[in-house]
Chain A
Amino acid sequence: MGAIETHGLTKRFGELVAVDNLDLDVAEGEIFGLLGPNGAGKTTTISMLATLLGLDGGSASVAGFDVVQQPSKVREQMGIVFQDPSSDDILTGHENLYLHGLMYGVPRAVIPGRIEEALELVQLKGREHDLVRTYSGGMRRRLELARGLLHHPRILFLDEPTLGLDPQTRQRIWTHIESIVAERKVTIILTTHYMEEADRLCDRLAIIDFGRIVALDSPTALKAVVGGDTVQLEVADAAASVAALEVLECVSRSEVRDGRLDVAVQNVAQNLPAIFAAAGDIASFSVRNTTLDDVFLHYTGHDIRNEGAEGVAKHMHRVRSVNR
């Protein structure tokens, strides 16, 4: 049995379908990512799995327990790090961890050892007796990561674990997450809208858009679908070039994006001359590895960061306001 299973999981807010018939099957010990833009339904999904939000349809089980029938069993098995900071800033880091241990029924004699262990893991030793309000955003997130692990959960939910953090701090959090996985058997579900994050951490990932799964596989496999590398071209007549390029065997995808042409190409080194020949007049070009950005664009038809597309913005706004 999987660590997490959902069948037809659905959540509605009024007429807005935030999560639409979601089927997931996450294996024990896996890092599973939910990747999508803001408002795609990631946090709503996590909230339902964590028994904080009721379902409007379908079913879900976490660690073998049904989220509707046995919510307290589910809670005993899970840890969660929320998107927004949720530690008490009038208390010290140590006090936050201690209270968490008590609330999760960790025996009182065991708690000090667990706190040491958790502080070690996220490298907060030495600062644990300072008030949380003196912590930086990154330290606070690390504290909450430590807190989520304190009671040795089988399942750990991380909702946008690096949102709003600077690149260095983000790298550090990634390292901590990787060492969590290396040191103990824990299944991690993380949501993110950062492609690098999903690419680096996840064993498998589901791309979610408008509450639906549009693709689900390992990052490598997802990138393979789009093609080996992406050649970006600036050409005089983009539409004509697309037509000429698409008939080529080595081209798996070509799209116009901001006036430039993105062409996914297998075996770039050998096929570049053919591409140039087909594309016509070229003002400039560049070659880069395919990223999950390309994958996202391929599956959804819109850029994950470009939330200017009106439908997306509107959807996002409504989801945001109901999630508050």
Chain B
Amino acid sequence: MSSILEFLARLAVWLLLAPLLPGIINRVKAWVAGRRGPPVLQLYYDLARLWRKGVVLSTLASPGFIAGPAVAWVAVLAAALLLPLGPLGTSLSFRGDVILLVYLLALARFCTAWAALETGSAFEGMGAAREVSYAVLAEAAVITAVLTLSMQSGSLVLSDMLVPAAGTGAALLAVGLFTVLLAENCRVPFDDPNTHLELTMIHEVMVLDHSGPPFAAVLHGASMKLLLFSVLLVQAMVPVGKLPESAAVAALIVGVLVVTVAVGLVESLTARAAFRRVPLLLTTAFLFCVFALLVAWKGGTA
């Protein structure tokens, strides 16, 4: 019974806290620009509003148009539940769960792209093509980062793997993972979440024709993905597993906040990179992860 309660609590944490992050990012951006900005809870209001609205369906769309966002949302939630929360561990942990995590995220992306293609609109096909071509490069970096972590710990279980090495390796990995976080969550150097120029949008253009509850699922899934990557980044950098429980939870929360504020600052201080430059940026992130891997490998044998 207690395990069920714990599982529900974990679910509630992921579901309820995730929409907070975009609000904080927007607050940071507003603060840097000297504006008042939207309320921190704006995304909750948006989700509530979308949930009450009806759905507009294209005559071309098959049931996949609704199923896509739903499957993507469930996949991201499942991936989030696999991720341990410091000393609290996970509700489900087995050998190789990290591979499932990577594949669940890929499934989520596939379903979003699929639903985008369902609309039959040229713009959304373009957005899907861009998203997927960036993902190819970002995924290489994620997998290298996963390889680095498993090389450091000699394990394929997420809760054992997230024990960071100190020093150069961790710094390299942090830079690589942070860049991947920006790319995967369509933040500024790669995509501008605020833009409404069709020619420059990536993620936004994919979900242009979604409305009502499916769109709410897309937005909520995106915020959960952001939280997931921040938690992953923090745990790969800070040895939260070794701290006492309350300190670890505090460290985790502070870490996620720091990552969120950093995303907001990057978003305020840099411009969106030109399309040509994006592969270069992502390759740089990949190389950072490769060198972290090299350090882990060298440290392991020397």
Partners in one complex: no
Chain B residues proximal to chain A, CB less than 8 Å? none
